[in-house]
Chain A
Amino acid sequence: MNAVAARVRAVPTLLRIGFSEAVAYRAELLVWILSSTMPLIMLALWTAVARDAPVGRFGQRDFTAYFLATFIVRQVTGAWVSWEMNWEVRQGTIAARLLRPMPPMVAYAAETLAAIPMRLVIALPVAGIALAITGGRVLPHDPRMWASFAVSLAGAWGIAFLASFGVGCLAFYFESSIKVMDLYLVLFFVLSGYLFPMELLPATFREIADWLPFRYQIGLPVEILTSAVAPREAAVLIARQWGFVAVLFGIAVGLWRGGLRRFAAYGG
């Protein structure tokens, strides 16, 4: 119990140092933020498509709200742990991390969370713009829905982080798991609601997507934020989302332990 308490005490320091690091590597952070501009490009695209008539139930205003929400959610939930882990395995610095008494998964999680304030600096003005354009009609009025949003945001972060961490663990097995991450991203772009609202997909694809974690990484929080789901439906979807979080957590832990054994066996 003492060991756990010690680790818990270390977390605020980890968060603080993570924030300092995020600040120190200003340029890198800017690069990451700029790299997530795809929703804005999609915004331009889809508002062009909807110029003459709405697409499904989406008029130009609806698309604007949707993609700005997507941008914000992406900024808050983005995780780049897989690249970082691949980097550290290549550099050999992963060994230093393993020597510390803090479980690396917690350390990485802390670092990812610590970067959120800096990302909010970008996200909040965009939120402001979104609010001004759409007039706040789109946002949920029910405080329970806001609570649902918060929960779904946390769940989205969980899925993004655990997937990224899991892929990062593959670096122990395959030297470089960057290509796996690329594959994940390909599927993510198409099946999460990142490039277009899930509603616009044909029914069969939508059903397939419902059984994959991507849709809960972006689609769910965005839909709650733009009042696209009824409260009861939202509750069901959130339950599924956290189901995915639990499954991914199990897989991630398994991959980590296995990877560690492999790492130790072959000598880092």
Chain B
Amino acid sequence: MLRYARLLGVQIRTSALTLLQYRLDFLTEGLLEVLWSATALVPLFVVFRARPEVAGWTFPEALLVVAWFTLLQGILEGAINPSLTSVVDHIRKGTLDFVLLKPADAQFLVSTARFQPWRATNVLTAGALFAYAFHRLGAPPRLGGIALAAGLLVVSTVLLYSMWILTVSAAFFVVRVDNLTFLFGSVFDAARWPSSVFRGIVAFVFTFVVPLSLMTTYPALALLGRLRPSTLVVALAVGAAFAALSRAVWVRALGRYTSAGG
């Protein structure tokens, strides 16, 4: 365990050194991110221009969901996605073998391969959205709500990571995988809306298959003081289940890779 902690440190250091080689990217990525966030708010404005309330959510409340979405997107694109593309690169160049030769868990090595710290701008954007939303709501969140939301944030990160591992495992079966990140992003995009908007089979999918509602709606509810603390227990269970499932799928995919000839 201590060895893996040290290894994580080394990986982060290596990642940082690599990024320093390409300084211009830092600036352009940050700017693009702000632009993306701004335009992503447009649908929200259009929806709430038509109605003061949608599916039980007012504009500032829905803004909270968008804020959580922005925060998670920062984690996704800053810590999780870059490593996904590195696995895809490895498979394409045939250098995944070198990862498999190392006496360390392959999943750990590929997950910590690359980080993109300029996505920290997402944290700032999310912070601004949180501030504005609570300004509109007129009352700050209670401490209990914040603690609950923080716990859910951890679970959401675990969920996002597990979903990514599942997507990358698909990369072993799919020949051309540039579009997998696009798929992931497209599906994840539905998380910017409060989950009560979706009904029927879509709601089912977004609650149990791809638990988007857990990731953005629940933390927003927690901040609004509308979530029971017992939900955290359920959330932790779901997170653990997803983590276990994704690990199993990864091991299976790797097994297929090594027997199918790589």
Expressed in whole angstroms, the Cα–Cα distance for A91 and B178 within the complex equals 13
Q: B177 to chain A: which residues have CB within 8 Å?
A: 28
Asked whether, in the complex, the Cβ of A45 is within 8 Å of the Cβ of B197, the reply is yes
Expressed in whole angstroms, the Cα–Cα distance for A195 and B35 within the complex equals 17
Expressed in whole angstroms, the Cα–Cα distance for A202 and B199 within the complex equals 28
Asked whether, in the complex, the Cβ of A186 is within 8 Å of the Cβ of B197, the reply is no
Q: A48-B199, A80-B179, A196-B43 known; A55 and B51 CB under 8 Å?
A: yes
Asked whether, in the complex, the Cβ of B174 is within 8 Å of the Cβ of A201, the reply is no
Expressed in whole angstroms, the Cα–Cα distance for A27 and B47 within the complex equals 35
The count of residues in chain B whose C-beta lies closer than 8 Å to any C-beta of chain A is 38
> CB of A187 within 8 A of chain B?
yes
Q: A232 to chain B: which residues have CB within 8 Å?
A: none
Asked whether, in the complex, the Cβ of B36 is within 8 Å of the Cβ of A45, the reply is no
> CB of B173 within 8 A of chain A?
yes
Asked whether, in the complex, the Cβ of A49 is within 8 Å of the Cβ of B183, the reply is no
Expressed in whole angstroms, the Cα–Cα distance for A34 and B28 within the complex equals 29
Expressed in whole angstroms, the Cα–Cα distance for A56 and B232 within the complex equals 40
Asked whether, in the complex, the Cβ of A48 is within 8 Å of the Cβ of B178, the reply is no
Q: Smallest CB–CB gap between B161 and chain A, Å?
A: 20
Asked whether, in the complex, the Cβ of B174 is within 8 Å of the Cβ of A190, the reply is no
Q: Which of B173, B186, B189, B197 contacts A27 (CB under 8 A)?
A: B173
A179 nearest in chain B by CB position: B32
> CB of A249 within 8 A of chain B?
no
**What mask results when residues 201 to 226 of chain A are scored 1 for a CB within 8 Å of chain B, else 0?**
11000000000000000000000000
Q: Smallest CB–CB gap between B35 and chain A, Å?
A: 7
Expressed in whole angstroms, the Cα–Cα distance for A40 and B183 within the complex equals 14
Main secondary structure of the interface of B (DSSP, over half): helix
A41 nearest in chain B by CB position: B190
Which residues of chain A from 33 to 56 have a CB within 8 Å of any chain B CB? 34-38, 40-41, 44-46, 48-49, 51, 55-56
Asked whether, in the complex, the Cβ of B190 is within 8 Å of the Cβ of A49, the reply is no
Asked whether, in the complex, the Cβ of B202 is within 8 Å of the Cβ of A38, the reply is no
> CB of A266 within 8 A of chain B?
no
Q: Which of A36, A87, A186, A201 contacts B36 (CB under 8 A)?
A: A186
**Which residues of B are interface residues toward A (Cβ below 8 A)?**
28-29, 32, 35-36, 39-40, 42-43, 46-47, 49-51, 54-55, 92, 170, 173-180, 182-183, 186-187, 189-190, 193, 196-199, 202
**Which residues of A are interface residues toward B (Cβ below 8 A)?**
25, 27-28, 31-32, 34-38, 40-41, 44-46, 48-49, 51, 55-56, 80, 83, 86-87, 91, 179, 182-183, 186-187, 189-190, 195-196, 200-202
List 4 additional contacts besides A44-B197, A44-B202; criterion CB under 8 Å: A35-B186, A41-B202, A55-B51, A186-B39
Task: Show 21 residue pairs from A and B whose CB-CB distance is below 8 angstroms, ordered by the A residue.
Answer: A27-B173, A28-B174, A28-B177, A28-B179, A32-B179, A34-B186, A35-B186, A38-B186, A44-B202, A45-B197, A45-B198, A48-B196, A48-B197, A83-B178, A87-B178, A179-B32, A182-B32, A186-B35, A196-B46, A196-B47, A200-B50
